[in-house]
Amino acid sequence: METCFRTETGLRPRNEDACGVWKFSRSGLTLLAVADGLGGHPAGEIASAVALEELRRSVERSLARSSNLDPEELQNTLAEGFSMADNEVISRGVRMPEWRGMGTTLVAALIDDQGRGIVGNLGDSRAYAVGSRGIIRLTVDHSRVMEMSARGMLTPEEADRHPLKNIVTRIIGRPGDIPDFYPLRMGKDVLILCSDGLNDGLREREIEWIVQDTPFPRLCRALVDQALHESRDNVTVAAAKLL
């Protein structure tokens, strides 16, 4: 499996996104994750970094305890990672008054060396599969405009450009917010995880074109660099492709 990841600050004064790819040699599993600290909240950059580090630690501990790699166990492992990330972000906010109320989105994928695994998300950072079927959104945003779209009040295109599109309804850092999980079979598709800064700069069909036209080792750089021409946000991408 080839992987890449990249994050850039763009026009914002600081980068509140975080990303990473971790390969666990004993199990043969790969973890990819993107987090987007909430703008307008305290310490967004702290929340995203803490969430990713606690997610990684939790997954690593779980894999050290178990050799069971069936889909149910992979989902349990990723769910525990989300829960531990949530607890740690909340705990840091309690211990540090200046960080109280901090939060972040989180999208992550835990994948075996055959491209099978689980994707989870909280917030509006997304996962896509791009391949012969075009670009397919694997996750559902936890956002106000997505709720409006589900009720038929907005088209998907209107939702992506709506002025309230940055209002998220579930996050890491708030008790009781539960992630959604989706089974993954990559096949020949490219898996893309991204913060909403990528969608602020590129439409989905443009993401598809870049994936199709760019050799993989340069893919994350190409997506981020192209999005920065239009995006007003931090832009972050992590990607994977089977060899």
Q: How much is the pLDDT for 159?
A: 76
| Residue whose C-alpha is closest to residue 80's, from 101, 54, 115, 107 | 54
Beta strands of 68-218 (E only): which ranges?
104-111, 116-122, 126-131, 134-137, 180-185, 190-194
pLDDT in tens, 220-236: 999 999 999 999 999 99
The per-residue DSSP string of 88-101 comes to HHHHHHHH-GGGTT
Q: How much is the pLDDT for 46?
A: 96
Q: How much is the pLDDT for 86?
A: 98
Kindly report the backbone phi and psi dihedral angles of residue 152, in degrees, each rounded to the nearest multiple of 5, phi listed first. Answer: 80, 10
Taking the whole predicted model, whether its pTM rises above 0.85 is answered as yes
Q: How much is the pLDDT for 49?
A: 97
Q: In b/e form, how buried is each residue of 82-110, taking b as 16+ CB within 10 angstroms?
A: bbbbbebbbebbeeeeebeebbbbbbbbb
Q: How far apart are CA 142 and CA 166, in angstroms?
A: 10
The one-letter code for the residue type at 200 is D
SS percent in the chain: helix, strand, coil, step 5? 35, 30, 35
pLDDT in tens, 23-70: 998 899 999 999 999 976 779 999 999 999 999 999 999 999 876 788
Q: How much is the pLDDT for 156?
A: 72
pLDDT in tens, 146-176: 888 888 888 877 777 777 778 899 999 999 9
3-class DSSP assignment, residue 190: strand
Q: What is the mean pLDDT of the chain?
A: 94
Give the number of other Cβ atoms within 10 Å of residue 155's Cβ: 9
Q: How much is the pLDDT for 155?
A: 81
Q: How much is the pLDDT for 153?
A: 85
